[in-house]
Amino acid sequence: MEFCFTTIASGSSGNCIYIGSEKNNLLIDAGISGKKVEQGLATIGVDPSNLNGIFITHEHHDHIKGVGVLARRYRLPIYATPLTWQAIEQMDTIVGDIPQECKQVVQKDKEILINDIVVQPYGIPHDAAEPVAYSFYKNKKKISVATDLGHTNDYIEKNLAESNLILLEANHDIDMLEVGAYPYFLKQRILGSSGHLCNEVAGQILSRLYHPKLEVAILGHLSRENNFPALAYQTVYNELVADDIGLLSSFQLKVAEREGVTDIYQI
Ligand SMILES: [Zn+2]
Ligand SMILES: [Zn+2]
């Protein structure tokens, strides 16, 4: 086993993901309160003072809400792309001050080594300053986390390829979104090429990415208003079955809980 993985929160109202290894306790995003992050970590037996860093995907509220509190309380490194830092600094009412020594910069397509894990950030299309997804490598294992993206392309799918665990966004059901109560501009934003992935497209992407060493695919960042877990699961499952993938026993398809720790995966 190289990695330990779980979601502490995943959805349009807050995201926080944990990746651990022998020498690391990392978070991707902290878009819930600092207290909820601490509670989630306590559930899996991780002391927040042993965190080695938080990797930020982008500056939207549901990804950074607790970052300031955690940075001030634990003085841990926070990694984000240059324009994401600029955007966060302009929104200091959400996160408050982040100590200067905690601010670490990552660049798209430049891997960074954190103890025993190599972290690779890569750009994704989303209506934020400089959003990224991340892949994590340790020995021959790879975990990828990609949420908040309007679409994929060859570059993104190459970065996601050969993962042993993928957390992929399945944000909305198009029909629920279209008949739902959201205002027109917001529907257009979500459906747009820099918005969010719908269930069908998430299924098609997973189908293309499937390979025999993919152990777990977790659907995440579900919309509270325009999706629900059983629908996301079934829609993606149907896409996989259509390509003869869903029936393999060596592969698990899961849906992340919106709040609270989902299953813990050892990869
Ligand atoms: Zn976003
Ligand atoms: Zn989001």
Q: Find the helix or strand (DSSP H, E) in which 63 lies.
A: helix 61-64
Find the domain containing 196 and state its range: 4-266
Where are the extended beta strands (E) located within 67-209? Answer: 78-80, 103-105, 112-114, 117-123, 132-138, 141-146, 165-169
CA 151 to ligand 2 centroid distance, Å? 14
Supply the pLDDT for residue 91.
83
For 248, residues 6+ apart whose C-beta sits below 8 A from its C-beta are none
User: Nearest ligand to the C-alpha of residue 223?
Assistant: 2
Supply the pLDDT for residue 105.
98
Rounded Cα distance between 36 and 128, Å, is 25
How many domains are contained in the chain? Answer: 1
Supply the pLDDT for residue 247.
65
Residue 116 near residue 25, CB atoms below 8 Å: no
pLDDT tens sequence across 99-152: 999 999 999 999 999 999 999 999 999 999 999 999 999 999 999 999 999 999
CA 186 to ligand 1 centroid distance, Å? 13
Residue 196 has pLDDT above 80, yes or no: yes
CA distances from 144 to 129, 163, 226 (A): 21, 6, 25
Residue 92 has pLDDT above 80, yes or no: no
CA 62 to ligand 2 centroid distance, Å? 5
The CATH number covering residue 34 comes to 3.60.15.10
Supply the pLDDT for residue 246.
66
Residue 244 has pLDDT above 90, yes or no: no
